[in-house]
Structure 1
């Protein structure tokens, strides 16, 4: 049995033993592991892109480079620049009544952490959290998706080549393997995927009291405000929807826009689609739907909506390419909440348009539904922007663009409520994968003994003084 195929339980045992021998790796060790990941991605970026494209049926290498390779390498460079500083304890003084004692917040690796990777961005959603885990001094087990088997096999082989056996390992396998992985007694588990599977992962991890970070999905709205630069809004929403053929957890899932601009949106989107992706869906820079199951699910969502009274507006002439799993990007109008396309996360190139009469109505529409992973607002009026930000919940927000909040090292990626819990990226990710251990350092000469029993008049006077000052 080769090392990537070893049972995860055996890998976890070996890693835990290694972590006990070196529970607090210094920065040189952490930096070396980060550079190993950097070399893995840099040396094999073409093979990685080819494997992902083969798994999808087709995905343009340019999108893999932009959406997976670039952010992975950028995250590594950011961690290498700042990780040593993140490791430093934060020292201060104790509360006034307890001076001259001092306090300390000491980041400590959690130990051996697990990362469960989805199929839609298999490199970035493996490498991104792995960067944070390694910067925090952990060892990591990575469970790769069975829906990207070529990439999974390649990445597992490369991890075995670039990392010492007890530092990082990648494992493969189907749903049963994922269930067993979530049941391991890990020190932390990060899962990226659907809300339904996230519930199962959390339930399984709870049996081991494994703390979890869940990066889930949901229906991420785009709001086109009354004061939006309309053409810009349509272009950026369309781009956010069509990269990776909409198979992005933070892609705009539906658009709220002024009622009188619905037809304008359709016409502008058609012109934009022709410019961004000419000759859809045959354009080689437009991705295929990753699996037959997912392709048929999306087709059924569209067709069921039309059968229930929605109107479909294809963004290009012609039809789908079923043999290549190329789905024609389509806007949907006259939708309602009885349709599955408005209840389920779409995760593909279908985009419902929901009209509103006032911005307050749009805010209420979002607030009445499950908190999304992302929210996009297009508006120029500062007071309107503040109203939307103050009265809606979302895991992350981009104003006057889409997607790019995920690329900011200073902003954590994470959901809220049904769209997830916890977050990572940059220093936030370092802290997710660390235990921030609180330490009180008592001074040799201190007055705490004055509060020892037996309790008498002096004790009562001191306690009254502390209550006034503390």
Structure 2
């Protein structure tokens, strides 16, 4: 090898190994898939405390209970669901055969794609690396994970854990910075899963498109909450406070802003801040810090801009601390439409509340922005619930709650438009990471043979019959 020959990356090396193994071994039987799911389950259970500690170290502080609840539990639930159902998901799906082709048979085989790449983010580094992996394994694929460089302690622990649990021809991890991630997104995978910002997602999609690599993009956007005229204030306050401030708002489906009848805006803002103070009285061990000083500075600047523009800001009594990247809960009323809080995905513990005069006004506001990853509706009146559902688009919805749709393994999780492409979870993930191969088998009698040249009377009679 001369000095001008490009060095093969670790991602390329692993892709070659896994692709060769996939071609050699073919689709794995259900027992192999279940064995891999069992090993993944054992890996997560045995290292759950270590994972939580590593994530907290990377964040500065992350509640270990939140990690167990939002990451460990959801991954174990996904494994349990896939393990229970994968055998029947793999069964051929027989299809109706038109009379003209009797007694033939038609069916769909769900076949593995091959090797799937996963680019996972920093905000839920365990869950967003391993939840898609569960569906990828159930589909009979092999996988390579590129975790975020912003959680280096966790990423190194995940690398060791996967290496100890799986052969590199089954599942592997590649670590490194932005250059490694950029190269990873250009590799000729059979499918690529990316979770992250819309801006980076566009770059990943462009890189994958060069090799015609299909993608699943889980992005984000400004997920609205609409409190309808019939909405319960008590339900809204509890669910919005929980969904917004858990993980300090660093959640892709967190309520980004709230729309509420104008006459109830101050009431909602006061109650949300009171609830946040009750949840996190000292903004201590149960409250997460921001991932970086850059994130802290961005939030501080956005709050200052809104306040300078005339917004009313409600602050938690514990003061912010840049050295700790600690930003306690903030509520903002009447933020200017053109300020950063109302233009950009917030991804932090700042909740804008917007008053509306009519529900149609609120729906028009939501529809004037790109389709979000999530939407939350608070309404006791089912007609209002249906009205909001009919008039809006989003990746998913929770009614009279927040976040909960993502925990349902029977529901697809994904975005629409600018908030993402494709969906996974449960059967939907199995279908996403397999190819629906169409198969038709002729029977002992094949009427199509009568339609071959030379076209005589019999062929014409049969054609007229088929066109009846």
Name the TM tier (shorter chain).
Answer: over 0.9
Q: Does 1:401 align with 2:404?
A: no
User: Is 129-138 or 84-93 further displaced after alignment?
Assistant: 84-93
Q: Which residue of 2 aligns with 1:194?
A: 197
User: Is 28-37 or 211-220 further displaced after alignment?
Assistant: 28-37
- Runs of 4+, deviation exceeding 4 Å: none
Q: Does 1:225 align with 2:228?
A: yes
For 1:44 and 1:67, locate their aligned partners in 2 and report how far apart those are by CA, in whole Å: 16
Deviations, residues 372-396 of structure 1 (Å, cap 9, x unaligned): 0000000011111111111100000
Q: Which residue of 2 aligns with 1:124?
A: 127
For 1:6 and 1:31, locate their aligned partners in 2 and report how far apart those are by CA, in whole Å: 31
Q: Which residue of 1 aligns with 2:307?
A: 306
In the TM superposition, 1:242-321 aligns within 5 A as 242-279=245-282, 281=283, 283-314=284-315, 316-321=316-321
Q: Does 1:443 align with 2:443?
A: yes
User: Alignment partner for residue 58 of structure 2, among 55, 65, 69?
Assistant: 55
Q: Which residue of 2 aligns with 1:169?
A: 172
Q: Which residue of 1 aligns with 2:187?
A: 184
Q: Which residue of 1 aligns with 2:31?
A: 28
Deviations, residues 405-424 of structure 1 (Å, cap 9, x unaligned): 00001001100000001000
Q: Does 1:71 align with 2:74?
A: yes
Q: Which residue of 2 aligns with 1:452?
A: 452
TM-superposed CA distance for 1:97, in Å, is 2.2
For 2:356 and 2:455, locate their aligned partners in 1 and report how far apart those are by CA, in whole Å: 68
TM-superposed CA distance for 1:6, in Å, is 6.8
TM-superposed CA distance for 1:360, in Å, is 1.3
TM-superposed CA distance for 1:175, in Å, is 0.9
Q: Which residue of 2 aligns with 1:332?
A: 332
For 2:427 and 2:415, locate their aligned partners in 1 and report how far apart those are by CA, in whole Å: 17
SS in 2 for 1:104: strand
TM-superposed CA distance for 1:309, in Å, is 2.2
Deviations, residues 267-314 of structure 1 (Å, cap 9, x unaligned): 2112211222212x3x21000001111111111111111122222111
Q: Which residue of 1 aligns with 2:3?
A: none
For 1:393 and 1:463, locate their aligned partners in 2 and report how far apart those are by CA, in whole Å: 46
SS in 1 for 2:304: helix
TM-superposed CA distance for 1:457, in Å, is 4.5
Q: Which residue of 2 aligns with 1:147?
A: 150
Q: Which residue of 2 aligns with 1:108?
A: 111
For 1:297 and 1:341, locate their aligned partners in 2 and report how far apart those are by CA, in whole Å: 10
* Kept in 2: contact 1:94–1:440 (CA 8 A): no
For 1:167 and 1:29, locate their aligned partners in 2 and report how far apart those are by CA, in whole Å: 11
* Kept in 1: contact 2:221–2:418 (CA 8 A): yes
* Kept in 2: contact 1:182–1:204 (CA 8 A): yes
For 2:302 and 2:161, locate their aligned partners in 1 and report how far apart those are by CA, in whole Å: 38
Deviations, residues 123-168 of structure 1 (Å, cap 9, x unaligned): 0001100000001110100001000000000000110000012000
Deviations, residues 338-363 of structure 1 (Å, cap 9, x unaligned): 11111100001011111111111111
Q: Which residue of 1 aligns with 2:138?
A: 135
Q: Which residue of 2 aligns with 1:341?
A: 341
Deviations, residues 165-224 of structure 1 (Å, cap 9, x unaligned): 200001111111111101101000000000000000000001111000000000000000
Q: Which residue of 1 aligns with 2:373?
A: 373
SS in 2 for 1:393: coil
For 2:70 and 2:148, locate their aligned partners in 1 and report how far apart those are by CA, in whole Å: 18
SS in 1 for 2:467: helix
For 2:9 and 2:130, locate their aligned partners in 1 and report how far apart those are by CA, in whole Å: 21
* Kept in 2: contact 1:93–1:101 (CA 8 A): no
Q: CA RMSD in A?
A: 1.2
For 2:165 and 2:48, locate their aligned partners in 1 and report how far apart those are by CA, in whole Å: 14
* Kept in 1: contact 2:414–2:420 (CA 8 A): yes
SS in 1 for 2:173: strand
Over 3 Å counting, the alpha-carbon distance change for 1:460 and 1:369 in structure 2 is: farther
For 1:465 and 1:395, locate their aligned partners in 2 and report how far apart those are by CA, in whole Å: 46
User: Is 143-152 or 266-275 further displaced after alignment?
Assistant: 266-275
SS in 2 for 1:445: coil
For 2:111 and 2:236, locate their aligned partners in 1 and report how far apart those are by CA, in whole Å: 44
User: Is 92-101 or 198-207 further displaced after alignment?
Assistant: 92-101
* Kept in 2: contact 1:23–1:111 (CA 8 A): no
For 1:376 and 1:150, locate their aligned partners in 2 and report how far apart those are by CA, in whole Å: 34
* Kept in 1: contact 2:309–2:336 (CA 8 A): no
For 2:53 and 2:61, locate their aligned partners in 1 and report how far apart those are by CA, in whole Å: 9
For 1:131 and 1:145, locate their aligned partners in 2 and report how far apart those are by CA, in whole Å: 19
TM-superposed CA distance for 1:36, in Å, is 1.0
TM-superposed CA distance for 1:22, in Å, is 1.0
SS in 2 for 1:30: helix
* Kept in 2: contact 1:93–1:99 (CA 8 A): no
For 1:457 and 1:388, locate their aligned partners in 2 and report how far apart those are by CA, in whole Å: 60
